[in-house]
């Protein structure tokens, strides 16, 4: 195990891999800063570049980018009150309030250092959990793996919305994704499904054009509708002093940093919960750390603990890789797209990642660590200049994003069909956003469709219906049911509490 | 949207009925629940109206809402037309010409940028495209239909 850990580090430190890591981290830096581009969309945009890379080069590039997006997304959230990423909203409450009080430097220092510590804790968790997860994953057969996929889809369907009917929309979205994955030649019997006489569809729908159109086009439309620069009409302002003070704050409240990092780890490994949830739960926990009512009243008005808490939840980036690598179940949209990269490079996540590709798995841990250290160091050096980039006019950024979308989509098969698919996916993605259907379950269903069908087919042909009675299958199924029912239970409990408090009044 | 999904699910089930067991198993297992769920959602939307619509509850990227709905609609249509326009430009004249032409036209006509800015950014876009995708990644970009037609007519060699 230790040997694999060192091999993983040496793999990342090879000059070509390290160069790709630096390039990825550099791109991720900008993606995080620019509110117009989401981490998932950027990851999808970069997918065509990995075709000619080896896994040792492709993962430092993609993960180097993906793992730093939230770190720099916090910068925009604090400076402008505009979330750099959809997952960095919670930090605005106290971070931007601090910026308005002239403590932007302190807030940024605290946010960057907490995010770095969070990333280190998340990556360490991933490294430490591998020995525990390995025997568990190796004991899983096709029936269990199929049920894990169902659990993942249920989790993401349940948690991609809140309120009545969110589970229904999530499940519809996930099932639709599975249906889209059916297009092409069936792997079991070689029968063509939904190809409509088109040769292009024989190999199925390609992930890249779907991901490109699905994530980038709705964001382009929205950017054009707002009609302003990507950071809106907010003033850039000066960062002021206090960066060191913020860094010291992180260590003054080290216990809070640690607790919120662990919250991030827990939420990170749960498929579907996502980064935004991790930040909000951590923020809620930070407010609970206030000992008096007066102290609590200070939150939302510029309490540094309200910055440290959400920023520490950055640990979810490393921890989120665990279900992706170990079970092939992505924890978020970003890891779902990352999962696509595994398949593109001919690597099937699951047991092989913990045996045959163990050094590669550890190289992912090192990538998260090194990329975050590099980015935090660069942020502290160049933060003033970089923040001004958020003032780029929409009219300038839109054609560039659109170019990348269509060029990226086209590179999947170098076929006209890729362009049509990119455009059509953009339309479907836009309609889903407009009508309130969550996109993460769809993309997860689409990515996992082939795997789910294969596991389901093997389970059914090998065990008949008896695979349904296997103890682990039953346990995972019950877990999926519990996940599906939990929000309803939670709503009921909150409703009862509210009624009780009204009666008391 | 739910109605469209219902039709998709029904189409999947009907198609799968004619396939061998191996091929039809998974589509039916997914298609039937999808049909049921989308029917429930359609009925919810139909009978609950606005109450059945819960887009604000989705944890996903949300579209910005402007106070001036007419302007929002106009801008949405405009950008959709630009996207469609770029798509057809790619088909008609191919990537090498469409990329700089689209960037320039968008900057000049939609963005109302200055000539210098538009030309400079057009050059950057073309150079990035050519350097990164054509030279570095060696992507074989297709010819546009116009060039193909001209070649067929022997006007272009």
Distance from CA of A252 to the nearest CA of B (A): 33
Residue A29 and residue A73: Cα distance in Å, rounded? 8
Segment of A148-157, A184-193, A216-225, B109-118 carrying the highest mean pLDDT: B109-118
pLDDT beyond 80 at A261:
yes
Spatial separation of the C-alpha atoms in residues A33 and A30, rounded to whole Å: 5
- Sign of the Cα pseudo-torsion (B75, B78, B84, B85, in order): negative
Q: Which of B29, B31, B58 sits opposite A160 (nearest CB)?
A: B58
Residue B133 forms contact with A (CB below 8 Å)? yes
Residue B140 lies in a domain: yes
Answer yes or no: do B61 and A436 touch at CB < 8 A: no
Task: Determine whether the interchain pair A414/B140 forms a contact, defined as Cβ–Cβ distance below 8 Å.
Answer: yes
- Same domain flag for B8 and B79: no
- To the nearest whole Å, the CA of A187 is away from the closest chain B CA by 8
d(CA A59, CA A70): 18
**Is residue B86 located within the same domain as residue B36?**
no
Q: Is the pLDDT of residue A317 over 90?
A: no
A219 compared with A309, residue with greater pLDDT: A309
The residues that bridge with B58 in the sheet, in sequence order, are: A161
Tokens matching residue A274: 């996502």
- Put simply, whether B50 touches A (Cβ < 8 Å) is no
Q: Give the pLDDT confidence of A29-76 residue by residue, as tens digits.
A: 877 776 545 677 778 777 878 877 888 888 889 888 888 887 887 887
Phi-psi map region of A289: left, alpha, beta (phi>0 left; psi -120 to 50 alpha): alpha
Whether residue B46 is found in the same domain as residue B83: no
State which of A96-105, A429-438, B41-50 shows the largest mean pLDDT: A429-438
End-to-end CA distance of chain B: 48
B156 is a domain residue: no
How far apart, in Å, are the Cα atoms of B62 and each of A338, A378, A408, A422, B54?
A: 23, 31, 24, 20, 12
Short-list B90, B74, B73, CA closest to B141: B90
Number of structural domains chain B divides into = 2
Q: What is the pTM of this model?
A: 0.70
**Per-residue confidence (pLDDT) for residue B65, from 0 to 100:** 75
Whole-number pLDDT of residue B87: 93
**pLDDT for residue A156:** 66
Q: Are both B102 and B51 inside the same structural domain?
A: no
For chain A, the average pLDDT equals 79
pLDDT value of residue B55: 47
Q: pLDDT band for A276, please (50, 70, 90 cuts).
A: low
Q: Computed over its alpha carbons, how large is the radius of gyration of chain A?
A: 22
Q: Report the percentage of chain A scoring pLDDT > 70.
A: 82
Residues A421-448 have a mean pLDDT of 85
Instruction: Verify that B135 and B96 share a domain, yes or no.
Output: yes
Instruction: Please determine, for residue A160, whether its predicted confidence score (pLDDT) is greater than 90.
Output: no
Q: Which residues pair with A244 in a beta bridge?
A: none
Please give the Cα distance from B130 to B133 (Å, whole number). 6
Q: Of A156-165, A243-252, A282-291, A434-443, which one has max mean pLDDT?
A: A243-252
CA distance B102 to chain A (A): 8
C-alpha distance from A243 to closest chain B C-alpha (Å): 31
CA–CA distances in Å: residue A342 to residues A238, A480, B102: 42, 25, 34
Identify whether B131 is part of a domain: yes
pLDDT at B149: 87
Residues B111 and B74 grouped into a single domain: yes
Domain identity same for B128 and B93: yes
Same domain as B121, residue B75 = yes
Residues of B in contact with A398 (CB under 8 A): 79, 106, 111
Contacts of A179 in chain B (CB under 8 A): 8-9, 12, 27, 30-31, 34
Enclosing H/E stretch for A446: helix A439-463
| B76 and B11 within one domain | no
Q: For A472-486, how does the pLDDT look when each residue is reduced to its tens digit (9 = 90+)?
A: 889 988 988 887 777
A32 to chain B, minimum CA–CA distance in Å? 15
Contact assignment for A410 to B58 by CB distance below 8 Å: no
Contacts of A396 in chain B (CB under 8 A): 107, 111, 113, 117, 121
B66 touches chain A (CB under 8 A): yes
Q: B53 and B27: one domain?
A: yes
Instruction: Give yes or no for residue B88 having a pLDDT over 90.
Output: yes
Taking the CA of residue B13 and the nearest CA in chain A, the distance in Å comes to 11
Question: Per-residue pLDDT tens for A38-47?
Answer: 677 778 777 8
Q: Give the pLDDT of residue B84.
A: 94
Task: Determine contact, residues B82/A395, Cβ cutoff 8 Å.
Answer: no
* Higher pLDDT pick, B66 / A58: A58
Supply the pLDDT for residue A271: 59
Residue among A399, A414, A419, A443 with most chain B CBs within 10 A, to mutate = A399
Q: Which two tokens stand for residue A437?
A: 């259907």
Is residue B45 one of the residues assigned to a domain? Answer: yes
Q: Is residue B2 predicted with pLDDT exceeding 80?
A: yes
pLDDT at A231: 46
Q: Which of A84, A165, A429 to mutate to test the interface with B (most CBs of B within 10 A)?
A: A165
pLDDT per residue over A370-382, tens digit each? 988 888 888 888 7
Cα A287 versus chain centre, distance? 25
pLDDT of residue A269: 72
Domain coverage including residue B93: 70-151
Q: In percent, how much of chain B has pLDDT > 70?
A: 89
Residue B38 contacts A where some CB pair is shorter than 8 Å: yes
Nearest-angstrom CA–CA distance, A104 and A112: 12
Residue A163: which pLDDT band, with cuts at 50, 70 and 90? low
Average pLDDT of chain B to the nearest whole number: 84
Tokens of A393: 């006019």
Which one of A168, A186, A414 has the shortest CB-CB distance to B40?
A: A168
Torsion from C-alpha of A251, A255, A258, A264, nearest 10 degrees: -120
Q: How high is the pLDDT of residue A136?
A: 67
Give A498's pLDDT tier (boundaries 50, 70, 90).
low
Return d(Cα A350, Cα A337) in angstroms, integer. Answer: 16
- B65 in any annotated domain: no
In this prediction, residue B50 carries a pLDDT of 54
Which among A182, A400, A438 has the least Cβ separation from residue B58? A438
Q: Look at A222 and B26 and tell me if their CB atoms are within 8 Å.
A: no
Lowest average pLDDT, out of A11-25, A232-246, A344-358, B133-147, goes to A232-246
> Do B86 and B120 lie in a common domain?
yes
Alpha carbon A402 to its chain centroid, in Å, reads 22
Q: What's A277-322 look like in SS3?
A: HHHHHHHHHHHHCCCCHHHHHCCCCCCCHHHHHHHHHHHHHHHCHH
* Chain A residues closer than 8 Å to B15 by CB: 193-194
B50 and B76 housed in the same domain: no
At residue A239, does pLDDT exceed 60? Answer: no
State yes or no: ipTM above 0.85: yes
Q: Which of B21, B36, B57 is the last residue of a domain?
A: B57
Taking only residues 86 to 105 of chain B, the set having a beta carbon closer than 8 angstroms to any beta carbon of chain A reads 86-87, 90-91, 95, 99, 102-103
């Amino acid at each position: 195990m230790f040997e694999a850990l060192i091999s993983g580090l040496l793999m990342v430190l090879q000059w070509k891999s390290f160069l790709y890591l630096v390039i990825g981290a550099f791109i991720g830096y900008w993606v995080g800063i620019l509110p117009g581009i989401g981490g998932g969309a950027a990851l999808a945009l970069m997918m065509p570049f990995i075709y000619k890379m080896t896994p040792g080069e492709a993962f430092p590039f993609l993960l180097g980018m993906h793992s730093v997006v939230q770190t720099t997304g916090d910068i925009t959230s604090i400076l402008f009150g505009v979330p750099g990423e959809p997952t960095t909203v919670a930090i605005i409450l106290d971070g931007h309030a601090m910026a308005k009080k002239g403590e932007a430097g302190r807030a940024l220092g605290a946010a960057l250092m907490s995010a770095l510590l969070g990333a280190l804790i998340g990556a360490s968790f991933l490294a430490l959990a591998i020995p525990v997860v390995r025997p568990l994953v190796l004991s899983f057969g096709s029936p269990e793996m199929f049920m894990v996929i169902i659990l993942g889809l249920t989790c993401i369907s349940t948690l991609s919305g809140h309120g009545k009917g969110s589970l229904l929309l999530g499940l519809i979205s996930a099932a639709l994704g599975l249906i889209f994955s059916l297009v092409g030649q069936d792997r079991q019997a070689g029968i063509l499904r939904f190809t409509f006489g088109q040769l292009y569809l024989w190999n199925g729908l390609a992930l890249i054009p779907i991901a490109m159109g699905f994530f980038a086009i709705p964001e382009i439309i929205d950017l054009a509708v707002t009609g302003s620069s990507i950071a809106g009409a907010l003033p850039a302002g000066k960062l002021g002093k206090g960066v060191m003070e913020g860094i010291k704050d992180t260590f003054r409240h080290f216990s809070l940093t640690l607790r919120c990092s662990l919250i991030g780890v827990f939420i990170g490994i749960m498929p579907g919960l996502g980064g935004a949830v991790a930040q909000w739960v951590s923020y809620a926990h930070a407010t609970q750390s206030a000992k008096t009512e007066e102290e609590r009243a200070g939150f939302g008005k510029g309490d540094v603990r309200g910055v440290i808490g959400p920023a520490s939840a950055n640990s979810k980036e490393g921890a989120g890789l665990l279900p992706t690598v170990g079970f092939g179940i992505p924890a978020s949209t970003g890891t779902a797209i990352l999962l696509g990269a595994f398949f593109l490079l001919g690597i099937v996540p699951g047991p092989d990642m913990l045996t045959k590709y163990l050094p590669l798995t550890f190289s992912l841990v090192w990538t998260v660590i090194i990329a975050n250290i590099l980015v935090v160091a660069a942020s502290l050096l160049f933060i003033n200049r970089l923040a001004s980039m958020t003032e780029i006019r929409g009219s300038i950024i839109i054609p560039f994003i659109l170019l990348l979308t269509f060029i990226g989509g086209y590179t999947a098969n170098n076929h006209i069909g890729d362009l049509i698919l990119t455009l059509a996916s953009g339309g479907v993605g836009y309609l889903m956003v407009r009508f309130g259907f969550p996109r993460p379950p769809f993309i997860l269903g689409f990515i996992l469709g082939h795997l789910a069908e294969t596991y389901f087919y093997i389970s059914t042909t090998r065990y008949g219906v008896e695979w349904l009675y296997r103890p682990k299958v039953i346990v995972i199924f019950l877990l999926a049911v519990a996940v599906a029912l939990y929000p309803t239970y939670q709503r009921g409990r909150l409703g009862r509490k509210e009624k009780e408090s009204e009666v008391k009044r | 949207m739910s109605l469209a999904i219902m039709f998709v699910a029904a189409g999947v089930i009907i198609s799968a009925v004619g396939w061998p067991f191996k091929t039809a198993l998974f589509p039916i297992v997914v298609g039937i629940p999808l049909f049921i769920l989308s029917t429930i959602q359609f009925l919810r939307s139909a009978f609950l109206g606005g109450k059945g619509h819960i887009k604000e509850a989705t944890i996903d990227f949300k579209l910005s809402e402007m106070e001036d709905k007419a302007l929002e609609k106009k801008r949405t249509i405009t950008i959709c037309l630009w996207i469609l326009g770029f798509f057809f430009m790619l088909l008609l004249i191919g990537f090498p010409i469409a990329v700089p032409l689209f960037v320039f036209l968008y900057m000049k006509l939609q963005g109302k940028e200055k000539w210098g800015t538009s030309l400079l950014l057009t050059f950057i876009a073309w150079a990035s495209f050519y350097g990164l995708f054509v030279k570095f990644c060696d992507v074989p970009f297709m010819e546009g239909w116009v060039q193909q037609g001209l070649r067929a007519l022997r006007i272009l060699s």
